[in-house]
Amino acid sequence: MIHYTSCPVCGSQHIHPQLSAVDHTVSRETFAIWHCDDCTLRFTQDVPNQDAIGAYYQSEDYISHSDSKKGLINNLYHKVRVLTLAGKRKLVLKYTGIEKGKILDIGCGTGAFLNSMQTTGWEITALEPDPTARLKAKTLYGIHPDPPGKLFELPDSSYNAITMWHVLEHVHELHAYMEKISKLLAPGGKLFIAVPNYTSKDAAAYGADWAAYDVPRHLYHFSPQSMALLAGKHGLKITTYKPMWFDSYYVSMLSEKYKNESGNLLKAGWNGTLSNFKALGNAKNCSSVIYLLESA
């Protein structure tokens, strides 16, 4: 277990317990979430280290690794994914300003996003820690992801786009990753980081039952403020904030399921809508935020 005596992002010792959350996906264990008063990061305390965390991903319910369509929520996830994949691809094309280039996807899961990029002519590099997901990427799309350690062997200034879709919150070597990623960007290259936002209205509505805390797999729980500080430490700056509108509904449905096994779709829909309404005109309030970064 890793016990932090200072904030994993800013190093401040002004940290304290904030709440406790249950791992509803695998272990049913309870984990403490701490808060940093200086940069506003929240983080999971006494989290399994890199060698021990793998057991907490071994569940058919962990959809990005299993590609499971079991149950209503997973079925809806797959239907919406068709739209979100197209949206991510358009985002990369718009902000890189090129039709074809080199892209690195860190934590590619089963490869759906990279498949959508390679079919439009992009040269892809895939990294994924989970062996089962790597095998599915090969089987489904002919993509051959490398383990994440390969990141540090990649040549600098190589990529027009680097993407981390709901990945950074899982990375134990947070600063080492950010430092290497900043070096991997080609001149004019863009970094896309999507993470949950605990300052959103749906997070406030569900408290400790907010599904996007997803302990212990989510090591860090970012606010826009803490993300900006992390970026600056590694020579990067945030240029654009983009909303992920569907996440508020997906997370609210899971949160209702965690509160009550049968769930409450109407209440989830209402909380998701209220959360999105608060984020209208300010993506920093969205349930999940896509941060677009470039070299400072």
Q: Give domain status of residue 141, yes or no.
A: yes
Does residue 243 form part of some domain? yes
The arithmetic mean of pLDDT across residues 151-175, rounded, is: 97
Task: Tell me the mean pLDDT in the region 207-216.
Answer: 97
Residue 44 has pLDDT above 70, yes or no: yes
Q: What is the pLDDT of residue 104?
A: 98
Query: Tens digit of pLDDT for each residue in 45-73?
Result: 999 999 999 899 887 665 454 455 555 55
Paired strand residues for 292: 192, 240
**Rounded Cα distance, 270 and 268, in Å:** 5
pLDDT at 118: 95
What is the Cα–Cα distance from 117 to 185, expressed in whole angstroms?
A: 18
Asked if residue 142 belongs to a domain, the reply is: yes
Q: Tell me if 6 is assigned to some domain.
A: no
Residue type, 109: G
- What pLDDT, on the 0 to 100 scale, is given for residue 74? 57
Identify the H or E element spanning 21.
strand 15-22
Give me the residues paired with residue 272 across strands. none
How many CA atoms within 13 Å lie on the side-chain side of 19? 14
Over residues 126-150, the pLDDT tens digits come to 999 999 899 999 999 999 999 999 9
Using CA atoms, how far apart are residues 80 and 101, in angstroms rounded to an integer? 26
CB 21 within 8 A of CB 213: yes
Asked whether 289 and 190 are in contact (CB, 8 A), the reply is: no
Geometric angle at alpha carbon 218, from 267 and 9, rounded to 5°:
120
The tens digit of pLDDT for each residue in 215-261 reads 999 999 999 999 999 999 999 999 999 999 999 999 999 999 998 87
What residues make up the domain containing 37?
A: 15-295
pLDDT of residue 73: 52
The answer to whether 185 touches 295, Cβ cutoff 8 Å, is yes
Determine the straight-line distance between the first and last CA of the chain, rounded to whole angstroms.
35
Give residue 296's pLDDT band: very low, low, confident or very high (50, 70, 90): confident
Mean pLDDT score, 95-106: 97
Q: What is the pTM of this model?
A: 0.91
In a domain, 140, yes or no: yes
Is 269 among the domain residues?
yes
| Single-letter amino acid code for the residue at 10 | C
Residue 163 in domain: yes
275: in domain: yes
Domain at 95, CATH number: 3.40.50.150
Per-residue confidence (pLDDT) for residue 66, from 0 to 100: 46
What rounded mean pLDDT belongs to the chain? 93
Q: Which of 107, 213, 86, 114 lies closest to 164, judged by CA?
A: 107
Q: Classify residue 255 by burial, with Cβ atoms within 10 Å: 0-12, 13-18, 19+.
A: buried
Helices marked H in the chain: 63-66, 72-96, 112-118, 131-141, 174-184, 201-206, 224-233, 245-259, 265-279
Q: How many domains does the chain have?
A: 1
Question: Quick one: 136 exposed, middle or buried, by C-beta within 10 A (0-12, 13-18, 19+)?
Answer: buried
pLDDT of residue 84: 84
